[in-house]
Amino acid sequence: MNRRKVLELIELGESLSVEFKQRFSTHEKIAKSIISFANTCGGYLLIGIDDDKSIYGIQSEKSDSELVRETAEKYCEPPVVCNIYSYEIDNSEVMVVEIPESEFKPHRIQDYKSKIDPNTAQVYVRVNDKSVLASKEMIKLMQTRQSNKSLVNYSVGKNEKIVFDFLEKNEKISVKELSKIANISDRRASRTLIKLVRANLLLIHVKENGENYFTAVI
C-alpha cells in the first residue's frame, strides 16, 4: 500500500472491494464493513472519505487506529486480521484499513455464542458496493467450504431433477420457487440447492437485499 494506490482507490470510488466512511461511527458499523470484506474477497475501508469522494480526514490517527483494531479483535467473531495505514491526502489524514479475504469464514458480529447460529448470526458479505446480511444458505456454504467437507456418493434425485428442468426454461431459481414447484419445505429446498452448489452443479448469487438465487453452471 502506498499513497498513489490510495489516490487510485479514491478516484475509482466505492465498489465490491472498496468502501468509504466519513468518520469512525460505531464499532458495530465498522465491524459490519470489516466482516463483509473478510467473508467475500477482501478489500479496503477508507476512513475520512465521504461517499462522494470528498476528503474530510480523521481526527486522530492513534485513537482511530486503536478503535479499528479493537473492532476487528473484539466485535468480530472470529477476530479479523487487518492492516492499518495512514496517508496525508489534500492536507488531511486518511486511514486505510486493508482486510484480506479470510481463511476462517464465516465471520459475524460478536454475539458471545460458542457456536454460530445461521438463524440469528449477523454475517455480512459484499454485494457490489454494499455490505449485506448473508442468507442461511450462504452461511452454510461458507461453513462447509471452510471445513473442506466434500459430498460423498451424491446422487441426483427427484428434487434435483426438478431444479434442472426448471432451469432449462428459466435463468434462475430460488429456495421459495423450488419449495413451491416441488411441494417441499423451504428447509429441504434450501438443503437441495446447497448440495448442488457444493457439487459444482449450481452457482449461488446474492442480491443487494441479501436474498439468494441459483443458476446452472455453464
Could you write out the three-class secondary structure of 91-156? Answer: CEEEEEEEECCCCCCCCEECCCCCCCCCCCCCCEEEECCEEEECCHHHHHHHHHHHCCCCCCCCCC
Q: Are 10 and 52 in contact (CB under 8 A)?
A: no
pTM of the entire predicted model? 0.85
Q: Which of 76, 111, 131 is the last residue of a domain?
A: 131
Reduced to 3 states (helix: H, G, I; strand: E, B; else coil), residue 16 is: coil
Q: Tell me, yes or no, whether 96 and 192 share the same domain.
A: no
Q: What percent of the chain has pLDDT over 90?
A: 75
Q: Tell me, yes or no, whether 90 and 194 share the same domain.
A: no
In a domain, 136, yes or no: no
Average pLDDT over residues 47-72: 93
Return the minimum-mean-pLDDT range out of 12-21, 171-180, 200-209.
200-209
Reduced to 3 states (helix: H, G, I; strand: E, B; else coil), residue 143 is: helix
Q: Are 127 and 208 in contact (CB under 8 A)?
A: yes
Give the structural domain span for 28.
Answer: 3-131
Q: Tell me, yes or no, whether 110 and 168 share the same domain.
A: no
57: closest CA among 14, 101, 35, 24? 24
Average pLDDT over residues 48-61: 92
**CA end-to-end span of the chain:** 37
Reduced to 3 states (helix: H, G, I; strand: E, B; else coil), residue 122 is: coil
- b/e map 52-73, b = 16+ CB within 10 Å: eeebbbbeebeebbebbeebbe
Q: Which residues contact 148 (CB under 8 A, 6 or more apart)?
A: none
Confidence band (pLDDT; 50, 70, 90) for 147? low
- Chain mean pLDDT for the chain: 91
Which neighbouring-strand residues pair with 61? none
Confidence band (pLDDT; 50, 70, 90) for 152? low
User: Which three three-digit cell numbers place residue 199?
Assistant: 457439487
User: Which three three-digit cell numbers place residue 104?
Assistant: 476462517
Confidence band (pLDDT; 50, 70, 90) for 85? very high
Confidence band (pLDDT; 50, 70, 90) for 200? confident
Q: Are 31 and 77 in contact (CB under 8 A)?
A: no
Q: H/E element holding 203? A: strand 202-206
Domain count along the chain: 2
Q: Tell me, yes or no, whether 19 and 86 share the same domain.
A: yes
Number of helices (H) and strands (E), helices first, in the chain?
A: 7, 10
Q: How far apart are CA 159 and CA 9, in angstroms?
A: 45
pLDDT of residue 149: 63
Q: Tell me, yes or no, whether 37 and 86 share the same domain.
A: yes
What is the CATH number for 96? 3.30.950.30
Q: Which of 79, 101, 131 is the last residue of a domain?
A: 131
